[in-house]
Structure 1
Amino acid sequence: MRTKLERRMTAALLPALLLAGAGTVSAQDGAPFQPLPADRTMDVINDGTKSVYKTGSAEGLSGAGHPFAPSETMGADSTNPSNLLPTIYGNALDSAGNEIPNTLPSTAENPYNLHPDPVVSVLSDDRGPEEDLARVIKRLKEATDWRELWATLQTRFRGGLRVPADPRRGDREVIGRGNGAGQIGERVAVRVDQDDVQFAIDILEGNEIDRVYSGMPLLNYKGPEQMKVVDPETKSVTVHQVWTRNAVMSDTFGIDPSNVLDEEWTIHYVIDVVARGHEDFAPFVMYFDDPNLRNGTAVPSVALDGTFFPMNEGKRYEFEYKMAPGRFWNLTYHWGWRVHPQRIQAIENTLKVAAGKTLDQWEIDVFGAAPSSSEEAKLAAISMIGDLAPAKRMWLALKALKEYNFNGRDANSTARLLVDEIEAAFFDWKNRNVLPRGVHDDPDSHVTLFYVNNTIYGSVNGHDGSTHAQPRWDEWVTRGSTLKVKLLNGDYFPHAYMNIDFGGLRGWENTFHNTLPLNGQGPWFTFGRTNWMPNTINPAVVPPAELPEGGYTQNGIFGSAATMEGLGDLATTMEEAREMTQGEKATLIQQELLLASQLSSSNTNADGLGEHDVEIEYRYDPAQRLRFYQFDPFHHGVAIWSVH
């Protein structure tokens, strides 16, 4: 019996990954999917502050073409790109020509080949964190701002919930708190309600509340507690997700497939779709070639959209999703295409190793093994999150507001300023397609990414992210374009950068049927099935931020709230916890990590943010639907920012 250590797969991040070997299959000959041909030589330069990558060439694969123009081979009227692969109704093959089970997502007879029909039920409460926080903020504004209170009072009738009779609505009054038409809502907030404040803190911390998203924090520190193992008896593992307007929330950060390395298995998805979360369920599964054929090395192979199944808000969907044997599995993405890239979440294979550590160990070394086991452990974990994170800014201001209990509505009152900060941070939190307050894009880069709260905010020069529209980099339409990325880190631990190709080098096939009549999205997004490869060899490491002088109370972190007496001992406690945690990590970083020289870098900009530059020369044509995928390989989860 092999030990767990012996069964661990070599990481997809190591240089050995690029030995992507067998198969001489042309991308255009209609043959089954196999690993890409061997010529994936890359040029890399890294001087500690800048990483320069030149990708492998597509010559001999799809041939030079124009993915965003009609294909000559498919007729002048075709809108298909030149590197579209023919659809093949069969499982993908490994490099020895053996089928990889459960890699055919759809057939003409069965468009949902990898799962039976889901079990669907109705949620008793479909409120998500956005709706709940908006409600709290409105009540806090009523309690601290006369104008907000007066505006609310103008919408109320005498008696609070009584709606007058009106022949246009019927001849009876509607009274009470039921589901009757015309219900007005809750009482007016006449003072800061500490129950409201605590409820918002509970949402941010992921404490137990009466909501379907209970336990899933907006402060992303619970990764170490979200690791699961496939059950050896049932060959299954349960994943609970909540799909909201702005995010895919999950109780699972990583899965250990040790018990099913040689067996097919299933993921039992329990998905709650809350208000404005309507979306297609579209898990994108990435597989390696059979590591038994590669001396344990993880070589990229096939990736596929497992389904496009429309999900409506206010419903729970339970899917039994079929997986290939565990030794093939790399990771699974869950993305919502209507609000992208921020509505996305990844579940990693915890056996993978990145820079000398397993992925679960990366989370543990930053946030502790059980970050929600005590208040002290929670504060230590949250202290590692950067103060410019919108969720952290809301949390700190709410913590301070708990110390105030007065009815003052003066514009200069501390309570009023704190509520203004909470609202501004709330709007920052809702949109990761723009950089939050206090962070500025780099005019000399095409893309600026800001790592904070264990996730990524981003901007593309010339793109207005305020509309939540998908960011695009239209300069890359054929091979030869060079991307410049500015990486900024606001967290107090290192992050990293990887860039992945989803089908530009080899092409893709669309195996799904039209779901538009069912209010779905397929086949708007014609991934279907493809090969994947990294555009970067080793990850580019972004050093941690420096804590601003004066800690949590100065340096403009809270905008107009110049003083934060309400934090009291909390600021000192969190500072001590942060310093202790960082000190404990220093030895680990020096002794255990293969990228010690980068990980110990203290390269920061004038604002104290960790900084690193990346350039990538793309020597192949882009995929039409997604030009490149960017993520943090050390702390994946929701640390994702893709560009179309």
Structure 2
Amino acid sequence: MVAGAAVAQAQTNHPGPLPLPGDLSVELSPDGKTTIFTTGTAFYDEVNPFAERPPSNVLPTVYENATDSGGDIIPNTLPSTPENPYNLHPDPVVTDINPRSPEEDLRRIIQHLNEVAYSEARQATDQEFFANGKGVPADARRGGIERTGSDAGTIEEDGASQIDYDKVQMAIDILEGNPVANRAYSGLPLLHYKGSEFVKTVDPETKNVTVHQIWTRENIESDAMFIDPSAVPNEEWTITYVIDVLRRGHEDFAPFMLLFDDPNDLDGAALPHVAMDQTFFPMEEGKRYTFKMKMPPARYWNLTYHWGWRVHSPRIQSVENATKVVAGKNIVEWETDVFGENPSSTEEKKLKAISMIGDLSPAKRMWKAFREIEDIAPAKPHSYLRTLVDELQASFEDWKHRNKLPRGVEPSPDHHQTLFYVNNTIYGTINDQDANAQPIFHQWETRGATMTSKLYNGDYFPHAYFSVDFGGLRGYENIFQNTLPIGGAGPWFTFGRAHWFINTAAPALVPAAERPDTYEEGSYYEVAALPEEASEVAQGVRPNWLEHPGNNGYWTEPTAEGIGEHNIAINFRYEPSIRLRYYQFDPLHHNVAIWSVH
């Protein structure tokens, strides 16, 4: 289709199906180390969207539901109208909750251990006033009150001098996702090994499924990694979202739903169609919001990813259609083949599953240190406790920031970005960019740009790379709404509705890491002894499921440190959407394995 005809079709067909480029490609470098992707070609005029407005790929706003290739209306695909800004859900039910987050509790527990390990430093201060002229502020170590008199620099003698093992166990429970009393996050692990348990099914009677999420400073954790909608292929259904907004989790709730065209019109093929923010509703910390979201018939549904623009890309999580097949295998099987079924049901299964997570994972490093402290012998020198506490503090800081690489992993100077897969999530960095800033690939403003990435894998199972475009190539619209009346950020944020498409013609495999041959005995890096029935990979056997269908010709030798690696390059032949340049994730283990770039 010539460009002019394609543009005309886009202008008139939206929000119906728009043209799908057929000229994207993938090739492997001769040495097998780099997968080179070339995207489809734009059929809009070349206009720099960051310098000229409006961009050529912005479509007219149409207040109608989308239609499929057969001309049928797809229900529940118009997220907002002037008359009803929140068109796909009634007002949420809002209640108060305990706002304590996993981050807050872990920080307090690590602080307690630090006071025990460095008790003499804690007692050493005799400072009465700080440099700014104020007395010692309120501090739990000083009884929680502000002191400004003669005793301003003293600390109570009955401070922490012994390890509180209940607190240590609480930290382990937080990381493993065990029950934690009076916490909204109870049961949601920071070690991402329970995905095979997080499969929800749409009830055929109520045509509803309930999803619980917690939103924290940099994380969204969910009890649903997959939803099986088999009961409602031709019927509208609902997702009841129970969203607990914990400390520093203030955000706008924005589930972004991706739809296929009707497979019944396409001989069963799953072809990209539209995607949209289903709502953009402000949420405050310390509150539980219960939304009932209307969904189209399930034969259209691909996935929904949940994102928070204030802390993006770390604050993000995806729920996949459990019936999908990815790289020749059901998407849930990719998870169960690694971690087993019901991995938290016994201690043996739990240890086996956690053993698949790489040892450079900040969450796993904390877990191992807490377990070592739990079993620490009284005869151990005090310096050993300090080593463990120092490790906890450093790993905690690494865990909090996914916009930088954790200790032990360095960015590649030869690539624009470096991604590190570990703990079934992704840490990332863009060269020459502040890790505290939102990731932005400034080099791509118009077609012809190339993005290169080093991919490292620290987990003991393979990951994969995939990238998707949200409207830059095929077009997108913005439905503006003013959220100021309900405490939102204002009218400049929009309900986006985009015609999505893939940037990468196939997943690129990132080979598994190799386990160290030895661990220093007695150190925090030592792994627990694996049971005899431990996973094949943990025992050094390479099972069939590690042979990714696209693995032929890939260079799979790990780095000197045993980390799996691969490289990718994407040649962009269109202008990006100004909302998001590219979405990148692991298609085999999606959930929180996402690191997108603006």
Q: Is the 8 A contact 1:106 1:113 kept in 2?
A: yes
State how far apart, in whole Å, the 2-side matches of 1:152 and 1:380 are.
Answer: 46
Unaligned segments of structure 1, at least 5 residues = 1-18, 72-79, 167-183, 555-562
- Native 8 Å contact 1:85 1:508 kept in 2: yes
Change beyond 3 A, Cα 1:36–1:518: same
Q: Which amino acid aligns with 1:192?
A: I
Determine whether 1:229 maps to 2:178.
no
- 1:287-324 per-residue CA deviation (whole Å, 9 max, x = no partner) reads 00001011111100000000100000000000000000
Aligned counterpart, 1:500? 468
How far apart are 1:187 and its partner, in Å?
A: 7.3
Question: For residue 643 of structure 1, what is the amino acid of its counterpart?
Answer: V
Q: Does the alignment pair 1:620 with 2:574?
A: yes
> Which amino acid is the alignment partner of residue 564 of structure 1?
G
Partner of residue 113 from structure 1, selected from 69, 84, 87: 87
Cα distance in 1 for residues equivalent to 2:228 and 2:302? 11
Q: CA deviation at 1:449?
A: 0.3
Q: Which amino acid aligns with 1:54?
A: T
What SS does the aligned partner of 2:501 have? strand
Judging changes above 3 Å, is the alpha-carbon distance between structure 1 residues 435 and 185 closer, same or farther for their aligned structure 2 residues? farther
Alignment correspondent of 2:129: none
Task: Give the aligned partner of residue 440 of structure 1.
Answer: 410
1: distance between equivalents of 2:550 and 2:74?
A: 34
Residue in 2 that maps onto 1:15: none
Contact 2:358 / 2:460 at 8 angstroms: preserved in 1? yes
The residue number in structure 1 matching 2:106 is: 133
Aligned to 1:391: 363
| Larger mean Cα displacement after TM superposition, 540-549 or 139-148 | 139-148
User: Alignment partner of 2:108: what SS?
Assistant: helix
Matching of residue 486 in structure 1 with residue 454 in structure 2: yes
| Residue 611 (1) aligns with residue 593 (2) | no
The AA in structure 2 aligned to 1:435 is L
Shift of 1:377: 0.2
TM, length-normalised to structure 1: 0.85
* 1:25–1:31 contact (8 Å) kept in structure 2: no
Match of 1:170 in 2: none
SS of the aligned residue for 1:231 comes to coil
Q: Is the contact made by 1:220 and 1:454 (CA closer than 8 Å) also made in structure 2?
A: yes
Range moving further from structure 2, 189-198 or 427-436 = 189-198
Residue 70 of structure 1 corresponds to which residue in structure 2?
52
1:144 aligns with 2:123: no
1: distance between equivalents of 2:215 and 2:466? Answer: 25
Which residue number corresponds to residue 564 of structure 1? 522
What is the deviation of 1:527?
5.4
Q: Match for residue 311 of structure 1?
A: 283
- Matches of 1:566 and 1:482 in 2, distance apart? 41
Query: Relative to structure 1, is the Cα distance of residues 296 and 159 closer, same or farther in structure 2, using a 3 angstrom cutoff?
Result: closer
Q: How does 1:253-402 map to 2 (within 5 A)?
A: 253-402=225-374
Tell me: CA distance 1:195–1:96, structure 2 relative to 1, closer, same or farther (3 Å).
Answer: same
Residue 573 (structure 1) shift:
1.9
Question: What secondary structure, in the 3-state scheme, does the structure 1 residue paired with 2:11 have?
Answer: coil
Structure-1 separation of matches of 2:59 and 2:396? 43
CA distance in 2, matches of 1:288, 1:195: 49
What corresponds to 2:96 in structure 1? 122
Q: 1:532 to 1:187 in 2, by over 3 A?
A: farther
The 3-state SS of whatever aligns with 1:108 is coil
1:416 aligned counterpart, secondary structure: helix
The answer for the alignment partner of 2:132 in structure 1 is none
Deviation at 1:160, TM superposition (A): 6.7
The code of the aligned residue for 1:102 comes to N
Q: Distance in 2 between matches of 1:54 and 1:89?
A: 34
Question: Once the 2 structures are TM-superposed, how far is the Cα of residue 607 of structure 1 from its aligned partner?
Answer: 1.7
Within 2, Cα distance between the matches of 1:50 and 1:143? 49
Q: CA-to-partner distance for each residue in 1:393-412, whole Å, 9 max, x for gaps?
A: 001111111122559995xx
8 Å contact kept, 2:470–2:580: yes
1:35 aligned partner, one-letter code: P
Q: Quick one: which amino acid aligns to residue 103 of structure 2?
A: E
Which residue of 177, 200, 203 maps to 2:174?
Answer: 203
Mapped contact 2:258–2:276 kept (Cα < 8 A): yes
Decide whether the 8 Å contact of 2:365 with 2:525 is kept in 1. no
Q: Is the 8 A contact 2:138 2:145 kept in 1?
A: no
Instruction: Determine if contact 1:401/1:566 at 8 Å carries over to the other structure.
Output: no
In 2, are the aligned partners of 1:263 and 1:324 still within 8 Å (CA)?
yes
Secondary structure, aligned partner of 1:219: coil
CA distance in 2: counterparts of 1:635 and 1:536, whole angstroms: 17
Do the aligned residues in 2 keep the contact of 1:192 with 1:406 (CA within 8 Å)? Answer: no
Alpha-carbon shift at residue 97 of structure 1 (Å): 1.8
The one-letter code sitting in structure 2 at the alignment partner of 1:53 is: F
CA 1:93 to 1:574, structure 2 compared with 1: closer, same or farther past 3 Å?
same
The answer to whether 1:577 aligns with 2:561 is no
**2:425 is matched with which residue?**
455
Contact 2:447 2:575 in 1 (8 A): yes
Unaligned stretches of 5+ residues in structure 2: 127-135, 149-154
Helix, strand or coil: the match of 2:318? strand
In the TM superposition, what are the counterparts of 1:40-189 in structure 2 within 5 Å?
Answer: 40-47=22-29, 48-59=32-43, 62-71=44-53, 80-123=54-97, 125-146=98-119, 149-150=122-123, 161=143, 188-189=159-160
Residue 594 (structure 1) aligned with residue 565 (structure 2): no
Secondary structure of 1:606's aligned partner: coil
Match of 2:504 in 1: 536
**Deviation of 1:81 (Å):** 2.9
RMSD: 2.7
Q: Deviations over 1:312-357 (max 9, x none)?
A: 0000000000000000000001001111111000000011001111
Q: Residue deviations 1:42-70, cap 9 Å, x none?
A: 121025421111111012xx221111123
Distance 1:345 1:229, change over 3 A: same
Shift of 1:164: 8.8
Distance change in 2, residues 1:474/1:163 (3 Å) = closer
Q: Secondary structure at the match of 1:477?
A: coil
What letter is aligned with 2:335?
A: E
1:584 Cα deviation from its structure 2 partner: 7.2
Q: Deviations over 1:413-467 (max 9, x none)?
A: 11110010011000000000000000011111001000000000000011111x2
In the alignment, which residue of structure 2 is the partner of 1:520? 488
Identical-residue share of aligned pairs (%): 55
Shift of 1:518: 3.7
Q: Deviations over 1:517-556 (max 9, x none)?
A: 5442464444510100000011000000011221xx34xx
Aligned residue type for 2:184: V
